A and B are shown apart, each in its own frame.
Chain A
Amino acid sequence: MSNKKLFGLIFCLMFPVGAAHADEAQLKRGAHVAVEVCNTCHSLKYLKYSDFLKLGFTKAEVDAMRGAKGMADPLISQMAPADELAMFSTVPPDLSLMAKARDGGANYIYAMITGFYTDAKGQTANHVFPGVKMPDVFMIAQADAAGRKGIEQKARDVSAFLEWASDPQAEERKALGRYVIGYFILLTGLLYFLKNKIWKRLD
């Protein structure tokens, strides 16, 4: 197992986000965080506004989220890439697949968002991604205990949402998988008994 993957596994154990069992309420909260906070600088271009309907939002709620953009429009970043390059000296990466592009997935994202702190020199740094150009958008480095709890919840929610965003068909896939595997267990069982019956003839 590569060191990256081992690191990812440790994340999964150390930072249980519960993303695997995210409920609809959490995904909706996460969607709001993503649209209101992350989308300012990050695009989520493989998501369309119409995809939010799949999360249980009503058309009116989605209309509020999309503003002037069309239903079938992708979620591009609100800041223009040229401005971002000037401001951050890099274009913030697209988030549609971020939960799959990092070992540790949603747990890595959670750890990174909550990993900001103020170092000895008074600068904002990040435990998980040293030298990251992303600012501490939730201001967790300066938060007090109560504030920190709120931010951690937001981070959990948005991580769960980003995991959904990277694989919107996960639930459908697993549901279908249960039927398909069940079918093959049945078929293989029948084949087993038929094989034994046929081979008995040899004696």
Chain B
Amino acid sequence: MNKIIAWVDQRFPLTYFIKHELTDYPTPRNLSYWWGFGFLAGFVLVIQIVTGIFLAMHYKPDSSLAFDSVQHIMREVNYGWLIRYLHSTGASAFFAVIYTHMARTLYYGSYRRPRELLWWTGQGLLLLMMATAFMGYLLPWGQMSYWGATVITNLFKATPVYGDQIVTWLRGGFAVDDPTLTRFFSLHYLFPFLIFAAVAIHLVALHTVRSSNPSGINLADKDNIPFHPYFTIKDLFGLGIFMIVYLLIVFFKPDLFIDAANNIPANPMQTPADIVPEWYFLPFYAILRSVPDLAGGVVAMAISVLIFAAMPYLDRSRVTGGARYRPIYRAMFYIFVIDIFVLGYVGAHPPAGTLKVVGEIGTAIYFMTFLLLPFVSRWEEKFVLARGLPPAVEAMARKEIAEAEGNV
């Protein structure tokens, strides 16, 4: 075996790569379990790709056959029900993991320099994921699949001048129909491999700047430990906990994320009582509906997703460690998270009465959090420096401020 590896090493940096980027890769020793969610996301991606490929062996992407083919998978294909439920639950698991991963980054300020590109590649990954999930949801061709796709593709009408043409082009017809289904299937199969490639880019960016850590201080070399075996085992343990929760849903509550209306074949002549997207889109859906104007709503929704990219520039505080040493940022973070849950609730219900007002307030809070940040972060910086910080953190902050002011 060693001879084979030596032969390869002469021609390909196999051992070097594994040592440098995996086993000996220096990692801060104080990383908490919040740092394991990136690994979990990668694992769920693999689950989705594998289950998806096996589903595609039996699924028929044709509007007259799709719904039946899903029932064929559920009832007649050996373990078809298991592969299907792993895939449908996996989509929700993917978003749960990624949203937690993003929350960790926001809380600890891991988007700050020099990790802007790491944050932006992550942003790109989120967009690819959302597109993939949206297209995948059409495939079962249930009532919610059909009408959800109709509502969202309709949004592109907001595009000035060419709106209607774009929608028709997207759908391949005048309504969501067979052409839409076939192309969504093709792209839904493709995108996960684009995601896979983007993950590789994301990891290259990570390895260039190395992980941040909960303390906010750049740790000395001695405080870094090799990734293997410490973080391989820690990530695997985290994976074990995740799998228990994930599989409890797959085996005991598999219809938890499948809307009842999606057990009815798509009927273009009849809209279900409530059109509700999957839970992971609800906050954005609420924002969309909070703005009375169609174009305004679409713009607001788009910005609500894209604005995260601006975080490295919106947050002007030079105090590191994110929320750890910054009480006001921490408060804003928690308010933001609660606001997202509130918006999620709003998105799940018809926009009427009190709920409509709650949605509008929630949307305002959402955007205000980002818009106030540049001003609040600077003010807070003065505040915490005056109040006192751990010496290492204070030194780093003052150094960065001096450099910035020296450049003015």
Contacts and interface: CB of A to CB of B under 8 A. Distances in A.
Contact of A198 (B71, B233, B252): B233
Nearest to A51: B75
B233 to A, nearest CB: 5
A89 interface: no
A198 B236 CA distance: 13
Given A100-B255, A176-B251, A191 B237 contact: yes
Interface in A152-203: 166, 168-169, 173-174, 176-178, 180-181, 184-185, 187-188, 191-192, 194-195, 198-199, 202
A2 B349 contact: yes
A96 interface: yes
A177 B253 CA distance: 11
Contacts of B229: 198
A199 B225 CA distance: 11
Nearest to A1: B348
Given A2-B276, A173-B82, A173-B251, A168 B75 contact: yes
A18 B340 CA distance: 38
A4 B250 CA distance: 23
B233 A177 contact: no
Interface string A65-104: 0000000000000000000000000000100110011110
Interface in B322-352: 348-349
Given A3-B349, A97-B263, A173-B81, A195 B247 contact: no
Interface string B240-281: 110110011011101100101101100000000110100000
B251 A180 contact: yes
A188 B241 CA distance: 7
B225 A100 contact: no
Interface string A1-12: 111100000000
Contact of B264 (A3, A97, A168, A194): A97
B240 A184 contact: yes
A22 B233 CA distance: 44
Given A2-B348, A2-B349, A46-B75, A202 B29 contact: yes
B247 A180 contact: yes
B244 A103 contact: no
Contacts of A166: 263
A187 B119 CA distance: 34
A176 B247 CA distance: 11
B316 interface: no
Contacts, number: 84
B17 interface: no
Nearest to B273: A4
B247 to A, nearest CB: 6
A135 to B, nearest CB: 22
A162 to B, nearest CB: 12
How large, as a class, is the contact surface on chain B?
Answer: 35 or more
Contacts of A181: 244, 247-248, 251
Contacts of B258: 100
Contact of B254 (A46, A96, A173, A195): A173
A148 B225 CA distance: 74
User: Which residue among B244, B248, B273 has the maximum number of chain A CB atoms within 10 Å of its CB?
Assistant: B244
A13 B81 CA distance: 28
B244 A185 contact: yes
Given A2-B348, A97-B264, A174-B252, A192 B230 contact: no
Contact of A195 (B237, B252, B260, B261): B237
B190 to A, nearest CB: 30
Nearest to A189: B240
B210 interface: no
Contacts of A168: 75
B71 A46 contact: yes
Interface in A82-139: 93, 96-97, 100-103
B240 A191 contact: yes
A2 B273 CA distance: 11
A180 B74 CA distance: 19
A178 B244 CA distance: 11
B234 interface: yes
Contact of B251 (A97, A174, A194, A198): A174
Contacts of A169: 74-75, 81
B260 A202 contact: no
A103 B259 CA distance: 9
Contacts of A185: 244
Contacts of A2: 274, 276, 348-349
Contact of A177 (B74, B75, B247): B247
29 contacts: A1-B348, A2-B274, A4-B260, A4-B273, A46-B75, A97-B264, A100-B255, A100-B260, A100-B263, A103-B260, A169-B81, A173-B81, A173-B251, A176-B251, A177-B251, A177-B252, A181-B248, A184-B240, A187-B240, A188-B240, A191-B237, A191-B240, A194-B233, A195-B233, A195-B237, A198-B233, A199-B233, A202-B225, A202-B230
Interface of B: 29, 68, 71, 74-75, 81-82, 225, 229-230, 233-234, 236-237, 240-241, 243-244, 247-248, 250-252, 254-255, 258, 260-261, 263-264, 273-274, 276, 348-349
The 4 closest A-B pairs by CB, nearest first: A177-B251, A188-B240, A101-B263, A191-B237
Interface of A: 1-4, 46, 93, 96-97, 100-103, 166, 168-169, 173-174, 176-178, 180-181, 184-185, 187-188, 191-192, 194-195, 198-199, 202
Given A96-B71, A195-B236, 4 more contacts: A173-B82, A184-B240, A194-B233, A199-B234
